Amino acid sequence: MSKNVGEYLLTTRLGKGSFATVSLGQNRASGSLVAIKIISREQLNRKHTENLESEISILRNFRHPNMVELYDIKKTDNNIYLILEYCEGGDLQRFIKARGRLREGTAQAFMTHLAAGLKFLWERSLIHRDLKPQNLLLAKLPESLAHTAPATGGLILKIADFGFARHLEVASMAETLCGSPLYMAPEILEGRRYDAKADLWSVGAILFEMVVGHPPFGGANHLELLRNIKSRSLVVPEDVEIGVGCLEVLKMLLKRDPNKRASFETFFGAEFVNAGAGLPQYTITFNTDPPPRVSNAQLQP
């Protein structure tokens, strides 16, 4: 695979979705690596276009160390190319699968990173709506900072794929069915209106998978998954040791009733989240002002 996209040379394919592929790109002048999301115009329907516009809007207007960064947009008659930050550590799903399950200290550190990114989004009334391990990418810290994140092996977690993300005021509700079933809040599976707390259920499911090795509930389809969520208790296998703080966070996030689920303030204030191997110093002092507008951001040629 070899193709030029502006100043970038496309090399290895990193992944493929329903209407886009992601490939590794290398700047021909500097040698720096990027991830290039390739969207075929031919496969863009109205909904896909809406999701793409939402993703671009969020990534171009907001920047945070725990969000994947958008560098540029390129266009041809056939494709749209999003030039994105390359996260060489892969996604959290692969990281978990390679290890079976994570040590609690590692899970705690990643949860700290995720909470920092979610707090940034929440403060701006943004709901992600598709939080899952595949959409959480792991980037290597600069060598000079790797020692600040020993629990994660020098990796920092970044939230990616904002296609389903929307602005949602704290008091408002949404009703669109979206997200990945295994990490989807029960109120979404039931077709009820939901608010930003749906993201917190997803966070709980992700934490459970990190420390146990699989999602908290399963099912062959949406209906079976919903039945299992409603009828089965949250069970941690006997061979898995989980600290009190971690268990408390799991219980507060995986409440079936969103009214009984923890608030964002409670989650952000949880000792387990705050006592984690916190963010490296550079992520705290990083400029979070909106970056300059990227070039060629319009979807139409």
142 and 218 fall within a common domain: yes
Are 109 and 152 spatial neighbours (Cβ–Cβ below 8 Å)? Answer: yes
Same domain, 254 and 131: yes
Catalytic residues: 130
Residue 289 lies in a domain: no
Residue 28 has pLDDT above 70, yes or no: yes
Report yes or no on 108 lying in a domain.
Answer: yes
Q: Residues 170-184: what's their mean pLDDT?
A: 68
Same domain for 117 and 206, yes or no, is yes
Residues 99 and 81 in one domain: no
- Whether 143 shows a pLDDT value over 50: the answer reads yes
> Can you say which residues are annotated as belonging to the binding site for ATP?
37
Residue 177 pLDDT grade (very low, low, confident, very high; cuts 50, 70, 90)? low
Q: For position 57, which CATH number holds?
A: 3.30.200.20
Q: Which of 32, 61, 86 is the last residue of a domain?
A: 86
- Residues 104-113, mean pLDDT to the nearest whole number: 96
CB 109, CB 149: distance < 8 Å: yes
State residue 275's pLDDT score: 65
pLDDT of 138: 98
What is the tens place of the pLDDT at every residue in 29-64? 999 999 999 999 998 999 899 999 999 999 999 999
Do 41 and 155 share a domain, yes or no? no
What pLDDT is recorded for position 19? 78
Question: CA triplet 98, 102, 103: central angle to 5 degrees?
Answer: 140
Same domain, 96 and 152: yes
Name the residue range of residue 14's domain.
3-86
Annotated binding-site positions: 37
Write the single-letter amino acid at 265. Answer: E
Output the domain CATH number for residue 204.
Answer: 1.10.510.10
pLDDT tens, position by position, 61-107: 999 999 999 999 999 999 999 999 999 999 999 999 999 999 999 99
Asked if 57 and 195 sit in the same domain, the reply is no
Residue 150 Cα distances to 87, 140, 145, 199, angstroms = 18, 12, 10, 28
* Last residue of one domain, picked from the residues 48, 67, 86: 86
- The mean pLDDT value of the chain amounts to 88
Quick one: 207 and 227 in the same domain? yes
The pLDDT of residue 149: 86
| Rounded mean pLDDT, 116-141 | 95
Contact 259, 192 (CB under 8 A): no
256 domain residue, yes or no: yes
Inter-axis angle of helices 104-122 and 244-253, nearest 10: 40
**Is residue 299 one of the residues assigned to a domain?**
no
Instruction: Count up the domains in the chain and report the number.
Output: 2
For 268-292, write each residue's pLDDT tens digit.
999 999 865 444 444 433 333 333 3
pLDDT, position 29: 95
